[in-house]
Amino acid sequence: MSRQMITRRAGFLAALGCATLLAACSPPEELPQEMEDEAVPPTLGLGVDLDNMDRNVRPQDDFFRYMNGGWIERTEIPDDRSRWGSFDELNERAEQQVLDIIRAIADEPGHVPGSDEQKIAGLFQSFMGEAVIEASGLEPVRQDLEAIDAWESHDELPLHWAEAMTRRIAAPIGFGVSQDQGQSDRYITTLGQSGLGMPDREYYLSDDDRFEQLREQYMLHISNMFELADLPEPREAAERILALETRLAEQQWTRVQNRDRTATYNLVSRYELDELAPAFDWLRFLEAAGLESIEEAVVRQPDYLTAVAELYRDVDLGDWQDYQRFHTLRRAAPYLSSPFVEENFDFYGRILRGQPEMRSREKRGVGAVESALGFLVGRFYVEEHFPEQARERMQDMVENIKLAFEDAIDELEWMGEETREEARAKLATLNTKIGHPDEDSWRDYSCVQIAADDLLGNIHRATSCDWDRMLDRLDSEVDRGEWGMTPQTVNAYYSSTMNEIVFPAAILQPPFFNVEADDAVNYGAIGGVIGHEITHAFDDQGRRSDGEGNLRDWWTEADEEQFQSRAQVMVDQYSAYEPLPGMFIQGELALGENIADLGGLRVAHRAYRKSLDGEPAEVIEGFSGDQRFFMGWGQVWRIQYREEALRQQLVTGPHSPGEFRVIGVLSNMPEFYEAFDVSEGDEMFIPEGERVEIW
């Protein structure tokens, strides 16, 4: 690999994509968004905006700049954003569409109490009701703070931690109910690490100067929050809270460790919980969480639970009270009076992500409605903005790419027949969801009560409803029609327990999916996304599950060794990329997404070639079909990042920054070399024996 490839312009602020795509789809907390007409390329036949390109850059040297250099030069990140790219543009557009829907509903008089419209309107109105919010000050959380003041012993902690998590207030032990990875036809309780106020353990433990500075700023933020709430000893409390969270961080698993689905799947009985962490009152904890009847649970990080159980009585009760006061305020801050809102944004927006300005109140109101009532809004969004013909064309593309993936499995020289048959069987059972839930699978919000003058109460009631819905799963069959993302989300994901790929309506628009563009660009863009999600079923973690969604080792020893050695080439290759001075991509953390990018684009290209039925592709605007295919992929990942946000992405995100999702993938594809005549000496050239070949 050339030296230029190893140190890709240190300091260039490129970025990630989205959830499992795109991310698995974490969900995710801060996904991208789009500008009205700017989303539609002017040259529809080509499907590429030529003005975004930089023809002074050779595609053989830097295909990311070649495709996006013009856009980079003329585009500034909006002040209310920490990053800006194609995903963000589309999300901006979807957000505006949702805002228009919410405004129209809120402006209608006489909604029937308890109706979908009344809930949407009431929640939005409660967020926009600044006079009521400002007059309330700290009052919405005063009762919670007084309850913490009343603690008399450490015996209160298990009860409080359980109640806190049911309201999404941070606590050292996190828990929930999800599909059982070991037995995917049922739901099970999962327990694991939680409780930090900064994004990752690295923020507490790194001796890098920047992280040391962030710790000082975090303490200042905590102190400011205590002063706003008129709590005693703000600076001393901040120091105690940071020290406590640092002790938690020291016991927590790294993000790389947490990616391991086998290591994090530890099925224990209710009684084995007591053996794992005997110093902790599990009965009190589970009763408070509504989980007293469970017989077993999955523990993600067993030694962490053991450590916390020993730690919780070792820490002074007053320190725990300070900790919970802060996290109670932190959860409530976006919904309190302006001093709390601004202080919360100052640390989590300006300092951690480099975002100069807070988003407008209306846009934050949309976010609140989306978070609490997302699928209610989604119904209206689908009615107004999702053409069903897009679903039909997507279904055809998915089937074509699945067939191409089947061919790819058959032709793998490194895989033995026994493993190959299992891989084919898993692919054959892969389910697809496109656009939006079926009519009988939309989420039910009947338990949510909304009042137009009680913002934080609305948030708590919506959270409580969501918690009850999750608990009800324990006595129910697995809902195979459930969606993990709303239709208005610009993203896609693969679910290992469902063994399915999901494409919400909002991603099915340019530059990802353009019904008026030729197939080459669509196969390179949305086809690459489809292939990405399919490949997640066979990445370093997805391959651990079978076609039924159960954790099962279906690999022969020889094929396992082949996979691991090939994956290590990818780990080493991406770990050499340095997006910021001294900060490299974590090749192990990003491995699953990088495998999905490369495997997905390769199979999408195979499907595109197959769609031509042996006929030559048309030349459009001087570009061949294969060239347009790669242009489709290259333009999807245009993005710019603020330095702080890119730093956070490199520490916490499983996705490589956008620049490297282009150059890293294409540098490993012989088809790209052929399309753009890449040869030795070009910056994107990697010797054949050093290229990654997995799927």
Instruction: Estimate the crossing angle of helix 658-666 against helix 63-74, to 10 degrees.
Output: 160
Average pLDDT over residues 638-642: 97
Nearest to 534 by CA among 544, 524, 543: 543
Strands 493-495 and 431-435: unpaired
Per-residue model confidence (pLDDT) at position 25: 36
Q: Please say if the pLDDT value at position 15 is more than 80.
A: no
Consecutive H or E run containing 519: helix 519-524
Average pLDDT over residues 672-692: 97
Q: Please say if the pLDDT value at position 370 is more than 60.
A: yes
Q: Please say if the pLDDT value at position 1 is more than 70.
A: no
Rounded alpha-carbon distances, angstroms, from residue 419 to 127, 531, 553, 562, 567: 54, 20, 10, 12, 17
Average pLDDT over residues 653-666: 96
Nearest to 116 by CA among 362, 386, 442: 442
Q: Please say if the pLDDT value at position 453 is more than 70.
A: yes
The torsion of the CA quartet 30, 480, 289, 486, rounded to 10 degrees, works out to: 20
Residues 664 and 668: their CA atoms lie apart, in Å, by 7
Give me the residue label for tokens 């032709």.
411
Give 128-170 pLDDT, tens digit per residue. 999 999 999 999 999 999 999 999 999 999 999 999 999 999 9
Residues 656 and 21: their CA atoms lie apart, in Å, by 12
In what side-by-side order are the strands of the sheet with 431-435?
431-435, 500-504, 493-495
Task: Give the pLDDT band (50/70/90) at residue 44.
Answer: very low
Rounded alpha-carbon distances, angstroms, from residue 466 to 175, 176, 443, 577: 14, 11, 10, 41
Average pLDDT over residues 283-288: 93
Average pLDDT over residues 560-584: 97
Residues 516 and 338: their CA atoms lie apart, in Å, by 46
What superfamily would CATH give domain 163-335? Answer: Neutral endopeptidase , domain2 (1.10.1380.10)
Per-residue model confidence (pLDDT) at position 516: 82
Per-residue model confidence (pLDDT) at position 34: 31
CATH of domain 3-95+392-442+477-690: 3.40.390.10
Sorted by where each begins, the domain ranges of the chain are 3-95+392-442+477-690, 163-335
Nearest to 138 by CA among 324, 329, 344, 327: 329
Residues 133 and 452: their CA atoms lie apart, in Å, by 11
Residues 145 and 328: their CA atoms lie apart, in Å, by 8
Rounded alpha-carbon distances, angstroms, from residue 98 to 228, 337, 441: 34, 25, 21
| C-beta atoms surrounding 143 within 10 Å | 8
Residues 371 and 311: their CA atoms lie apart, in Å, by 34
Residues 2 and 664: their CA atoms lie apart, in Å, by 13
Give 522-538 pLDDT, tens digit per residue. 999 999 999 999 999 99
Mean pLDDT of the chain: 92
Beta bridge partner(s), residue 190: 176, 298
Per-residue model confidence (pLDDT) at position 638: 97
Residues 406 and 428: their CA atoms lie apart, in Å, by 9
Nearest to 676 by CA among 662, 661, 692: 662
> Rounded to 5 degrees, what angle do the CA atoms 626, 631, 632 make?
100
Average pLDDT over residues 470-486: 95
Give 46-86 pLDDT, tens digit per residue. 899 999 999 999 999 999 999 999 999 999 999 999 999 99
Give 598-638 pLDDT, tens digit per residue. 999 999 999 999 999 999 999 999 999 999 999 999 999 99
Per-residue model confidence (pLDDT) at position 22: 59
In the three-class reduction of DSSP (H, G, I as helix; E, B as strand; rest coil), residue 298 is classed as strand
Quote the tokens at residue 365.
Answer: 């109101």
Decide: residue 169, CB within 10 A, 0-12 exposed, 13-18 middle, 19+ buried: buried
| C-beta atoms surrounding 187 within 10 Å | 23
Per-residue model confidence (pLDDT) at position 475: 86
DSSP labels, 228-278: HTT-S-HHHHHHHHHHHHHHHHHHSPPHHHHT-TTTT-EEEEHHHHHHHST
Per-residue model confidence (pLDDT) at position 393: 86
Q: Please say if the pLDDT value at position 5 is more than 50.
A: no
Q: Please say if the pLDDT value at position 245 is more than 60.
A: yes
Q: 694 Cβ partners below 8 Å, 6+ apart? A: 563, 566, 567, 570, 595, 598, 599
Quote the tokens at residue 225.
Answer: 């929050």
Alpha helices in 315-360 (DSSP H): 317-332, 338-345, 352-353
Nearest to 20 by CA among 498, 548, 524: 498
Residues 437 and 321: their CA atoms lie apart, in Å, by 43
Give 165-198 pLDDT, tens digit per residue. 999 999 999 999 999 999 999 999 999 999 999 9
Quote the tokens at residue 230.
Answer: 């008129």
Give 338-361 pLDDT, tens digit per residue. 999 999 999 999 999 999 999 999
Quote the tokens at residue 426.
Answer: 């898993």
